[in-house]
């Protein structure tokens, strides 16, 4: 098949959506499909560039760096992105007969370009990989009010996106409930997050020696450092272990809360925490190889399930999961059922601390849970199975 992947970011940008769509593209190529990725990139010099990487055709359009944009600027960026991508796409692709478009969301602003694909390619199918139910989560967490006109503007674009696709892949079974109640789409399925293995290609990082953490138990939190992750939840945990010599917490990433963490470290003169800016995905993988526990934090006010893509990385490197998440999240059942880590509800600081102590003091428990996570990853969250599930619809 000739397949287009739509994503607002792509490899080597070190964010979960970029990593997931890169793994998707690689797996499709390995299964002998022709793949074109349409994406934004702040690092190119011209308005757009077409290149090939690992057998993947990638058309990048020049865009601002999303991590430094304010919320209004980010909204404008996402609104205009599909127009820029379509304009560049029409210059390069006039002869290939595309069969399928796979769009990754967030963003919710793919409705117009998906409509254009339908009008220009007879019989083309469209699949949406939906990782955030937006603007619902913004409403649930109080970021936006139902009485704010911007909410209804976003809601209109959400509806438009869902109407333009043939199938939606959500990240958990409970997400299906939202669509059944809202009657947003006629065809929805669960498509779990997925990952391709990097193990054989990744050397060990020297970060333990560099940061003088040789004998420490490293708890790592990698990826987006934003509102959804409730960073204050983790800072309270770190502060409660300030007198525990073996404990060290490592943040690696970028986001709106990066400066908050940096300021907290300075104000509290904390010695048991290190904050590193985002690194390449390859370097991040090498860091994970020398860590001990992978950490998840989700804001308590979330009403829908969120399955952070960082879990895939933790499982691959046999890191047990320490999770503090919103109530009734399906992720809690998965962690407990497969014994891949310890989980508590966000807000239950005592239980989170006790879970941390168990993993800190018991290397055998860490090893057993980490090994079970690696098995679960191969069984349920591999890219090969995800691609087969997507293509089985068409």
Question: What are 206-215's pLDDT values in tens digits?
Answer: 999 999 998 9
User: Which is nearest to 210 in space by CA: 286, 281, 265?
Assistant: 286
Examine residue 393 and state whether it is found in any structural domain, yes or no: no
Residue 307: band (very low, low, confident or very high) from pLDDT cuts 50, 70, 90:
confident
* pLDDT tens digit sequence for 345-377: 999 999 999 999 999 999 999 999 999 999 999
Residues 16 and 163 placed together within one structural domain of the fold: yes
Examine residue 172 and state whether it is found in any structural domain, yes or no: yes
Residues 132 and 12 placed together within one structural domain of the fold: yes
Residues 145 and 184 placed together within one structural domain of the fold: yes
Examine residue 59 and state whether it is found in any structural domain, yes or no: yes
Query: Which tokens belong to 224?
Result: 């987006």
In this prediction, residues 182-201 reach a mean pLDDT of: 76
> What span, in angstroms and rounded, lies between the C-alpha atoms of 110 and 132?
14
Examine residue 388 and state whether it is found in any structural domain, yes or no: no
Residues 288 and 354 placed together within one structural domain of the fold: yes
Higher pLDDT, 11 or 261: 261
Lowest mean pLDDT among 188-192, 246-250, 300-304: 300-304
Residues 6+ apart with CB under 8 A from 169: 127, 128, 129, 130, 188, 189, 190, 191, 389, 390
> What span, in angstroms and rounded, lies between the C-alpha atoms of 78 and 71?
11
Residues 243 and 268 placed together within one structural domain of the fold: yes
Cα–Cα distances (Å) from 69 to 63, 72, 188, 224, in that order, read 11, 8, 32, 15
Domain that holds residue 217: 199-380
Residue 69 — φ and ψ, nearest 5°? Answer: -85, 145
Residues 245 and 261 placed together within one structural domain of the fold: yes
List helix spans (H) across 164-243: 175-182, 207-210, 231-240
At 95 the pLDDT is 80
At 15 the pLDDT is 81
Q: What is the pTM of this model?
A: 0.86
At 67 the pLDDT is 67
> What span, in angstroms and rounded, lies between the C-alpha atoms of 390 and 393?
6
In eight-state DSSP terms, residue 298 is -
At 347 the pLDDT is 94
Last residue of a domain, one of 168, 191, 214: 191
Neighbours of 393 (CB within 10 A): 13
Examine residue 391 and state whether it is found in any structural domain, yes or no: no
User: Which is nearest to 4 in space by CA: 33, 38, 31?
Assistant: 38
CATH code of 118's domain: 3.40.50.2000
At 99 the pLDDT is 95
At 345 the pLDDT is 96
Query: Which tokens belong to 205?
Result: 């990082």
3-state SS class at 266 = helix
Residues 255 and 171 placed together within one structural domain of the fold: no
Examine residue 227 and state whether it is found in any structural domain, yes or no: yes
User: Which is nearest to 215 in space by CA: 238, 246, 242?
Assistant: 246
pLDDT of 306 over the 90 cut: no
Angle between helices 363-380 and 349-361 (to 10 degrees): 100
Residues 174 and 293 placed together within one structural domain of the fold: no
Residues 53 and 18 placed together within one structural domain of the fold: yes
pLDDT of 338 over the 80 cut: yes
Last residue of a domain, one of 127, 162, 191: 191
At 182 the pLDDT is 56
Q: What percent of the chain has pLDDT over 70?
A: 96
The total number of structural domains that make up the chain: 2
At 376 the pLDDT is 94
3-state SS class at 50 = strand
Residues 210 and 186 placed together within one structural domain of the fold: no
Residues 6+ apart with CB under 8 A from 83: 112, 113
Residue 30: band (very low, low, confident or very high) from pLDDT cuts 50, 70, 90:
very high
Kindly report the average pLDDT of the chain as a whole number.
91
Examine residue 286 and state whether it is found in any structural domain, yes or no: yes
Examine residue 291 and state whether it is found in any structural domain, yes or no: yes
At 199 the pLDDT is 63
> What span, in angstroms and rounded, lies between the C-alpha atoms of 121 and 99?
8
At 211 the pLDDT is 94
User: Which is nearest to 117 in space by CA: 213, 4, 273?
Assistant: 4
Residue 273 — φ and ψ, nearest 5°? Answer: -145, 140
Lowest mean pLDDT among 9-13, 56-60, 67-71, 295-299: 67-71
Residues 186 and 277 placed together within one structural domain of the fold: no
pLDDT of 200 over the 80 cut: no
List helix spans (H) across 256-394: 258-268, 281-288, 310-316, 330-338, 349-361, 363-380, 383-391
Last residue of a domain, one of 191, 219, 242: 191
> What span, in angstroms and rounded, lies between the C-alpha atoms of 350 and 361?
16
Residues 65 and 170 placed together within one structural domain of the fold: yes
């Amino acid at each position: 098949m000739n397949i287009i992947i739509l994503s607002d970011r792509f490899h080597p940008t070190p964010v979960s959506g970029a990593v997931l769509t890169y793994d998707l593209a690689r797996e499709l190529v390995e299964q002998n499909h022709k793949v074109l990725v349409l994406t934004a990139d702040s690092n190119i010099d011209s308005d757009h560039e077409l290149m090939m990487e690992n057998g993947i055709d990638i058309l990048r359009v020049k865009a601002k760096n999303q991590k430094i944009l304010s919320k209004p600027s980010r909204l404008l960026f996402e609104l205009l992105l599909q127009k820029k991508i379509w304009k560049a796409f029409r210059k390069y692709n006039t002869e290939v007969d595309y069969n399928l478009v796979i769009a990754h969301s967030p963003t919710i602003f793919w409705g117009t370009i998906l409509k254009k694909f339908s009008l220009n390619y007879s019989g083309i199918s469209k699949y949406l990989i939906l990782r955030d139910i937006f603007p619902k989560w913004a409403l649930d967490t109080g970021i936006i009010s139902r009485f704010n006109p911007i909410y209804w503007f976003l809601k209109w674009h959400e509806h438009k996106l869902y109407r333009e696709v043939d199938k939606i892949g959500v990240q958990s079974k409970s997400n299906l409930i939202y669509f059944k109640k809202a009657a947003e789409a006629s065809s929805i399925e669960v498509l779990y997050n997925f990952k391709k293995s990097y193990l054989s290609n990744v050397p060990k990082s020297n970060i333990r020696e560099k940061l003088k953490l040789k004998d420490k138990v490293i708890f790592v939190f990698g990826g987006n450092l934003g509102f959804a992750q409730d960073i204050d939840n983790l800072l309270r945990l770190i502060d409660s272990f300030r007198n525990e010599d073996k404990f060290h917490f490592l943040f690696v990433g970028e986001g709106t809360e990066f400066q908050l963490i940096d300021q907290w470290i300075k104000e509290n003169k904390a010695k048991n925490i290190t904050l590193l800016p985002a690194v390449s995905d390859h370097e991040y993988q090498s860091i994970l190889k020398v860590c001990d526990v992978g950490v998840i934090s989700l804001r308590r006010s979330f009403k829908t399930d969120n399955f952070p893509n960082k879990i895939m990385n933790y499982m691959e490197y046999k890191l047990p999961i320490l999770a503090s998440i919103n109530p009734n999240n399906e992720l809690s059942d998965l962690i407990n059922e497969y014994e891949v880590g310890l989980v508590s509800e966000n807000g239950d600081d005592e239980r989170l601390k006790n879970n941390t102590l168990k993993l800190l003091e018991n290397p055998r428990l860490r090893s057993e849970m980490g090994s079970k996570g690696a098995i679960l990853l191969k069984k349920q969250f591999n890219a090969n199975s995800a691609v087969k599930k997507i293509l089985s619809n068409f």
